[in-house]
Structure 1
Amino acid sequence: MAERQQHPGEQYPQPEFPQQDQPHPGTTERMEPRPDHGEETYRGSGRLEDRCTVITGGDSGIGRAVALAFAREGADVVFTHLPEEEQEARETVRLVEDAGRRAVAVPCDIREEQACRELIDRAVSEFGRIDVLVNNAAYQMSQPDSLEAITTEQFDRVMRTNLYALFWLSKMALPHIPAGGSIINTTSVQAYKPSPHLLDYATTKGAIVTFTQGLAAHLADRGIRVNAVAPGPVWTPLIPATLPDTAKFGEQSPLGRAAQPAEMAPAFVFLASQEASYITAEIVNATGGTPLP
């Protein structure tokens, strides 16, 4: 949340950024400029008081911003991270605990069905239920030669991270989500305007839109809402870790810059809150002005 009204294109750093490369999965500390997760600006108002939430990929980027916002809105948080992201995860834990809420960091690779099952079991053992499931974790790797350069290994990793895990976790969490609960998925502008160099990633993001809308119809009579957020370019560690050119990242947006993770979190809070009680099967587009269907 902004401290004051201002031109949205000028609210955060604009390209050009210093050129930077990191090995996957990337770290926040090495990014320039440093991403904003809402550490100094997000102010909660009790909209998720005592909710029990699960967030995949909560160690950095959009996931960290959502974890912080959920905690400041009164929610406890279980979140996943890759084993090599332990240092990043500790910072998310600190932010949630500083907000006075419980944080449980779970190192796991959600490409494996058993890891997803153990995650849900851990969340239920910690909290007894799951009020909000956020399927946020994703993998991408730019391939300038598009289809010809995408290996079966890469395609499999993208599919299992972005789609299989979403399917497994939604199915496994469902018995523990009460009426009034919700599932929120992270899709992307890539679902509607696919970049050839991210062909496999964009394919999964389009599938997430379809999955979200179909599952929402299936669960409406149970009182469980299913929605998604479609970000445009967002400045997270995934960017220097997977794209070859970061200097002008986000410049193509009508607002002329990439979003910060802090700018995505309010959409997730709204969709998780009771204020969104009549909203299901919706895709909230946060693209910086790129028109989408």
Structure 2
Amino acid sequence: MTNSLRIGIDLGGTKIEIVALDEQGSELLRRRIDTPQGDYLGTVMAVAGLVEATEDELGRRGSVGIGIPGAESQRGGLIKNANSTCLIGKPLRRDLQALLQREVRLANDANCFALSEAIDGSGRDAETVFGVILGTGVGGGIVIRQQVLVGANAIAGEWGHNPLPALPGDEHPPPDCYCGRRGCIEAYLSGPGLSADHARHTGIRLDAAAIEHHAGQGDEACAATLLRYEERLGQALAGVINILDPQVIVFGGGLSNMQQLYRNLPERCAPHVFSDTVCTRFLPPMHGDSSGVRGAAWLWN
């Protein structure tokens, strides 16, 4: 077999997805299996098995990149900050390299998302791309000249656990975050955070999709919840723009499907950006839910 394809894996908490790309980025194969719950050894074996089955089917050996819901510690190479807790403290890359008998590259799943969109997605013409995940959690990744910025602590782009600056009218005390802090961006801007904010103001528990639907039907309380969400997101992203000044911010995760965000965010950000105009473009992902696994493959770009 010749080393002529890129294999990417998205190692999630509920599913493991694999994709194989040719040199031009065309998809040759895609498979998805359930993640062995709470089973580190089972997870490692499942990933290795997917790689071997893919190479057997395609008759070619490939480079392997993996996106994970966490990061590899710069001290010792063990996994940290993973919401798939069975990975925490484990030498994942070392174990997979031993099984697959080759170098394996790991990156945070938000970094993989950003890389995919920077290489051949919505940010392909931009020098600097900030990839935003708005879903069950809030994550981010930075790509500069089509290279992932990892950072000294392997946390570059992790804006979700910075405190959200208080807007006029925001309630106090701020909501708790699972990380142990209060008032994190994630506690406000994740899907559960949006739902919790609506419940705090109305006493009614709705998920994000229902809030968006009812707002579109004229429900004033749901419309007010979405307005608060947009204003908070605008202020949070203004902080990113003031530091990173990306040409493109591309959104992923379930909340990225709210089309009004792309129309309204320039106006929501503008009062908080240290500039007379906001030229940053806010874009949906070209590759949708496929971006993360494609980005893992592009770690070998």
- TM bin, normalised by shorter chain, reads 0.3 to 0.5
TM-score of the two chains, using structure 2 as the length reference: 0.32
Query: Structure 1 or 2: larger strand share?
Result: 2
In the superposition, the TM-score normalised over structure 1's length comes to 0.33
